[in-house]
Each structure stands twice: as C-alpha cells, then as structure tokens.
C-alpha cells in the first residue's frame, strides 16, 4: 500500500506493538504483585514492612498501566537525522531496554510541544495519531521543515496543504508560507500573562494557532497549569471533537473543553433564542437584574407576625427582621449561605422574648432548648422563609421569565416590549444565552453547603476509623518501625476508590478557577458570557481567538475594545494574523472591501 492508506497501516502496526508491550508489562506486574501477596505475614517485622512497600509499588504501577489504555500513543516526531520518535502517555522500553515510546513529560518529548515552523529545531515533521480504542483512525501531519524531502502523498491534514504550497511554481508561495509561520509562531509563544486577542480573517489559521498555543503553554508552564487546569471554550461540539482529534495530549494535563451552553455542571442548553432575545440576555444589565431579584427574596413583613410555640406566644417584629437581614448581608456571603446567619439571628431574638414563670432570663441550657423548639415549629419556619426565601438559581431565573411582575421589579430599565420578548413558560428548555445569567445567579445565591458539610464530616469519621485500623494492624504485626507507618497505610486504604483527574474535578465544580482559558470564535460571545468566563480565570490569562468582521450573533462583539475593556481594562493585547493561505488574493481583497 502507498500514500495515506500505507501510512495508516504502518502506524497501526507500530501501535499494535506498543499495546503488546503494555499487555506484557501488565502481566509481569500482576504476577509480581500476586507473588508478594502470597508470601503472607511471615518473617521479621522488617521483611513484612518491605513486602508492604513492594506491594504498594506494584499496585501503583498496575494502576498506571491500566490508566493509559486509551490513547497510549498520540504523537510521532520525524527528526532531521532520520530517526523517528513516538510520544505517548507513558514511557515504554522493549525487552532489551531500548526505548519504544517516549513519555510526553520527558525532555526528549519537548520538541513535540515546543517545535514550530519558525523554530523547528531538528524536527522535520510532527504527526498526531488519532485513535479509537487500539485502532488508528486518522493522522494529522505538520511539516516543520519545508526544505526536507517528504513524500507529499503520505501526508494528511494541513501538512499536505503546506507541502503543496511550498512546491508552488513561484517563489511568492513559499514566502507566504514563511510569513504565516512567523506570524503564528510569535502568537503561539506569547507570554502566559494577560489576555491575548488573536484577530484574523478566514483561512488565517486562528483555530490551529489557539490549539498549538494551548499545547505550548501546557508544556512550558506545566507545574502551574496542571494544578489549575485549562478551559477551552468552543462554538460547537464539532469544534470540541476537532480538539480531541488534533491535540489528544491536551487532556493529559487537565484540559476541560466545553461550549458556553455546557459551562454549568448539570445544566444543558438545548433551546435556541431568536436574535433580539439573545441580544437582550447578553447585556451586562443582568448583573443588576439578578442582584435585584435576589434582594427581592429578602423581605421585611409589613406587620408583626404572631406565632405560638409549645404554649408560649412569640412575635416576629418587622424591625427585628430588618435588623437581622442587614446583619446577614454584612457577612457578604451568597444569599442561600447568608440565610443561616439570618435564621440564627432571628431565633435568638425570638428566644429573648421567652421568660419562665418567674420572669427570669433563661439558662444557657434552657435557651438552647427553646431555640430548637422554635427552629422545629412549622409556623416559625414559614414566617422566616417568607422573610428570607432559599431558592435555586434555576428557579430564580425561571420566575423572571415566567412571572411578569418579577421581571418588571428586577429590570425596570427594560421596556414593556423587551420584557414581553423575554417571557416564556415555566419549564422551557434553557438556551445558551441563559447559561451566563444562571451563572450570575449561582454566584449571588450560592449553594446550600449543608450536604457538603455532612459529607466532609462523614469522610473525616471514615478517615479516623481507617487510621485507627492501620494502627491496630501495625501494632498486631509489630511493623511500626519499618517502611510503612499508620498514616501511609491508612492512605492506601483510602486510595482504593476512584481518583479524579484535574479535568474531571474542574468539570464537575462550577466554582473552579483555571490557570488559562482559550476561547475560539470569541466574537460571538455576549458581554454576560465574557463575564462568566472572566470569573473562571482570576489571573485573566486568556487566549481569545476570533474575527469581529465575521460576528453573526446579535449579542456578539463588533469591536474588541468595546467588548473587552469594560471587563479586562488594560489587561489585554491584540495580535493579528494577516495572511490567508486558503483564499486567493482576489477573493480576499473583494471580501475586505465589502467588510
């Protein structure tokens, strides 16, 4: 076979060899672990401790080998000296200890992330292998040395295009390619700090630059970004699949790829807004609207409310409610979390009204009992809920759309016609324009942390039990002075459950903050969408890719300055891609005049 088919067959054979070696190492590790365990708890204390240490080592190695089943091999480097180096998720050597696969974190793999067409080093070609399971399904080539002799028929993806351009009949084509390389290289290697806006017309390679910049930053700033992760925001699920195919190694360091519609865990935007509705929902005005809507759930009753608890009369005075609301707001906690302060304050004020038969103040013990009776009483709960209503972000935003008086109260700046445009039935599907508004509501309402606190207490209790059990094990075996202490042994017990990657933890946590954010087709984002993204990157380290001449959304950007300065002030800079290598100059010039 020749050409692409031959290259796919060749890479499949290489990948098959890698997986055979992986399976061999898994079997060897499993046998060694089994043999260690079969030795049992005999011998000296030191021998038993050493066996525990070896068992831990083999268990860790087995877990590592199991974890790399998916996308074991994802890259290949063709070097100027004729050598070929494959890059993958771990390093592998053959039975003779010769390198088969280079760990992506090793210095030898550095060129896979750092080499560019302007600074190729000794790399002639970089190849990305697209795999599904153990099958090679596609190839993506990048030719970094256009002077090298490379079979153009064996190239796939943009590498084939660049090679064809380099072989053009005039010198101008090669000049254009060199210009593109220089432009793109400067952007890819630009500083991590601040927000970098990459502006470019169709065919200038904006998306490719964004992905390569993400890969470069992940490698160059690995220690910083592997802890906090990188958020990649694309315009569609098709774009996210493209990321997965072109740069599969990104996921290794904790990359979360999403669309604005999927930004919130547990919320999926399946509805579509018309242009004017999307424009209205994208306005920064919603910062005030949501804040007012939240404050509207903190209400002082017009008249005193009388309740009877356990044969005693209590009065909920409006002035006490107003004072308790003011005190709770001064905690600066989100609404649902500050409610605990409000309720505690009000229960204390009600308990102060209680007097025994002699009119004497309550003892501390009796006061606690009265407070608990008040807390448990239905009428008291209803009255306090009316004054400070706990509410979910989804319910808050849904009520604004479904109840005209709520929206009129919270958004007096909107005209009656605009409010009618926003009206919809309860339970209607969320749209992409709703997600930033929901995110604002989450920020101001907060989440009830009672479940999280209960889970934390349970984990702490389980940890104490595991530690006690570990001490008993070491005491019974006399191995306390060996290689394994109680803390280490308890950690091994606790580590038996699933371990989440940075990306998995970040994707499930709405409040997660990232080290860097990459945004493609950024011109389509509304001001509220930008507010949601900026909230997720306190360092304001961003790569923003787009073209304001191509904006199609009514809520999108017509000017980077007008869109970004209110949010980032002077913390952003502009870089431009000026050469389109997919569009003839005649067409590009005409399009520019029209634009």
Radius of gyration of the chain (CA): 31
Helix, strand, coil percentages (3-state) for the chain, rounded to 5, are: 55, 15, 30
Among candidate residues 265, 268, 257, 269, the one with its CA nearest the CA of residue 233: 257
Angle at CA of residue 146, ends 143 and 152, nearest 5°: 65
Between the CA of residue 401 and those of 74, 397, 408, 583, what are the distances in Å? 47, 7, 10, 45
How does pLDDT run across 174-205, given as a tens digit for each residue? 334 444 466 777 888 888 999 999 998 887 88
What is the model's pLDDT at position 486? Answer: 56
State residue 518 phi and psi, 5-degree precision: -110, 130
What is the residue-averaged pLDDT of the chain?
82
Question: Can you give the three-state secondary structure of 97-153, one letter per residue?
Answer: CCEEEEECCCHHHHHHHHCCCCCCCCEEEEEEEEEECCEEEEEEEEECCCCCCCCHH
455 against 534, higher pLDDT: 534
How does pLDDT run across 21-38, given as a tens digit for each residue? 999 999 999 998 888 877
Determine which of 8-17, 447-456, 503-512 has the lowest per-residue pLDDT on average: 447-456
What is the model's pLDDT at position 298? Answer: 94
How does pLDDT run across 241-285, given as a tens digit for each residue? 766 655 555 545 578 889 999 999 989 899 999 999 999 999 999
What is d(CA 117, CA 145) in angstroms, rounded to the nearest whole number? 7
Q: What percent of the chain has pLDDT over 90?
A: 46
**pLDDT tops 80 at residue 49:** no
- Beta carbons of 194 and 572 less than 8 angstroms apart: yes
Angle at CA of residue 380, ends 376 and 381, nearest 5°: 70
57 against 418, higher pLDDT: 418
**pLDDT tops 90 at residue 9:** yes
What is the model's pLDDT at position 533? Answer: 96
Q: Where are the domains of the chain?
A: 3-167, 187-264+510-594, 275-294+393-445, 298-387, 450-494
Determine which of 32-36, 414-418, 486-490 has the lowest per-residue pLDDT on average: 486-490
How does pLDDT run across 319-369, given as a tens digit for each residue? 999 999 999 999 999 999 999 999 999 999 999 888 655 566 677 788 888
- Beta carbons of 206 and 550 less than 8 angstroms apart: no
Question: Can you give the three-state secondary structure of 15-74, one letter per residue?
Answer: HHHHHHHHHHHHHHHHHHHHHHHHCCCCCCHHHHHHHHHHHHHHHHHHHHHHHCCCCCEE
CATH of 187-264+510-594, one of 1.20.140.10, 3.40.50.300, 3.40.50.10860, 3.40.50.10190: 3.40.50.300
What is d(CA 164, CA 401) in angstroms, rounded to the nearest whole number? 55
How does pLDDT run across 145-167, given as a tens digit for each residue? 766 666 555 555 555 445 545 54
Q: Which band of pLDDT confidence, cut at 50, 70 and 90, is reported for residue 413?
A: very high
- Beta carbons of 481 and 197 less than 8 angstroms apart: no
Which DSSP state fits 255? E
Q: Characterise 523 by phi-psi region: left (phi > 0), alpha (psi -120 to 50), beta (else).
A: alpha
Instruction: Give 175's contacts (C-beta < 8 A, 6+ positions apart).
Output: none
- Beta carbons of 177 and 146 less than 8 angstroms apart: yes
State residue 247 phi and psi, 5-degree precision: -130, 70
What is the model's pLDDT at position 580? Answer: 75
What is the model's pLDDT at position 480? Answer: 47
What is d(CA 273, CA 287) in angstroms, rounded to the nearest whole number? 20
- Beta carbons of 259 and 237 less than 8 angstroms apart: yes
76 against 363, higher pLDDT: 76
Tokens of 374: 């008040």
In the three-class reduction of DSSP (H, G, I as helix; E, B as strand; rest coil), residue 335 is classed as helix
Residue with tokens 């990232």: 514
């Amino acid at each position: 076979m020749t050409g692409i088919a031959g290259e796919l067959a060749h890479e499949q054979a290489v990948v098959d060899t890698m997986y055979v070696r992986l399976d061999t190492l898994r079997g060897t590790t499993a046998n060694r672990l089994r043999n260690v365990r079969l030795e049992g708890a005999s011998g000296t204390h030191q021998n038993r401790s050493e066996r525990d240490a070896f068992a831990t080592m083999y268990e860790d190695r087995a877990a590592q080998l199991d974890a790399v089943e998916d996308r074991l091999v994802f890259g290949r480097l063709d070097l100027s000296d004729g050598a070929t180096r494959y890059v993958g998720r771990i390093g592998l050597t053959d039975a003779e200890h010769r390198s088969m696969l280079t760990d992506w974190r090793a210095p030898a793999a550095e060129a896979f992330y750092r080499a560019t067409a302007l600074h190729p080093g000794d790399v002639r070609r970089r190849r990305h292998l697209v795999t599904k399971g153990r099958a090679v399904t596609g190839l993506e080539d990048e030719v970094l040395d256009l002077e090298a002799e490379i079979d153009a028929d064996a190239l796939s993806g943009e590498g084939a295009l660049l090679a064809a351009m380099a072989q053009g009949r005039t010198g101008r084509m090669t000049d254009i390619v060199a210009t593109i390389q220089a432009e793109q290289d400067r952007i890819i290697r630009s500083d991590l700090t601040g927000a970098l806006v990459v502006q470019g017309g169709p065919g200038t390679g904006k998306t490719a630059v964004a992905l390569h910049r993400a890969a470069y930053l992940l490698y160059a700033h690995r220690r910083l970004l592997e802890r906090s992760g990188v958020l990649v925001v694309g315009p569609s699920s098709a774009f996210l699949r493209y990321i997965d195919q072109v740069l599969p190694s990104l996921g290794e360091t904790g990359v979360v790829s999403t669309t604005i519609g999927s930004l919130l865990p547990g919320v999926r935007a399946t509805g579509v807004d018309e242009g004017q509705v999307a424009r209205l929902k994208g306005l920064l005005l919603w910062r005030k609207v949501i804040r007012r809507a939240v404050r509207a759930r903190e209400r002082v009753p017009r008249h005193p409310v009388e309740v009877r608890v356990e044969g005693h009369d209590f009065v909920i005075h409006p002035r006490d409610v107003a004072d308790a609301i003011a005190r709770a707001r001064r905690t600066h906690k989100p609404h649902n979390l500050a409610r605990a302060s409000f309720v505690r304050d009000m229960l204390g004020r009600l308990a102060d009204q209680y007097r025994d038969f002699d009119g004497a103040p309550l003892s501390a013990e009796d006061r606690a009992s009265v407070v608990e009776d008040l807390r448990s009483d239905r009428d008291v709960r209803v009255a306090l809920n009316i004054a400070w209503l706990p509410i979910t972000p989804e319910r808050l935003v849904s009520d604004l759309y479904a109840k005209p008086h709520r929206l009129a109260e919270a958004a007096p700046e909107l005209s009656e016609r605009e409010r009618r445009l926003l009206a919809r039935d309860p339970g209607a599907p969320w749209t992409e324009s709703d997600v930033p508004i929901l995110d604002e509501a989450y920020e101001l309402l907060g989440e009830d942390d009672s479940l999280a606190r209960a889970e934390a207490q349970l984990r702490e209790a389980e940890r104490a039990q595991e530690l006690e059990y570990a001490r008993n094990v070491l005491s019974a075996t006399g191995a306390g002075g060996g290689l394994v202490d109680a803390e280490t042994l308890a950690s091994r017990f606790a580590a038996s459950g699933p371990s989440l990657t940075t990306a998995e933890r970040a994707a499930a946590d709405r409040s997660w903050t990232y080290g860097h954010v990459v945004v493609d087709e950024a011109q389509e984002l509304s001001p509220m969408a930008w507010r949601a993204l900026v909230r997720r990157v306190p360092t304001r380290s961003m790569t923003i890719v787009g073209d304001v001449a191509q904006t199609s959304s009514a809520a999108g950007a017509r000017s980077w300055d007008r869109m970004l300065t209110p949010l980032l002030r002077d913390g952003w800079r502009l870089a431009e891609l000026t050469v389109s290598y997919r569009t003839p100059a005649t067409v590009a010039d005409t399009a520019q005049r029209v634009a």
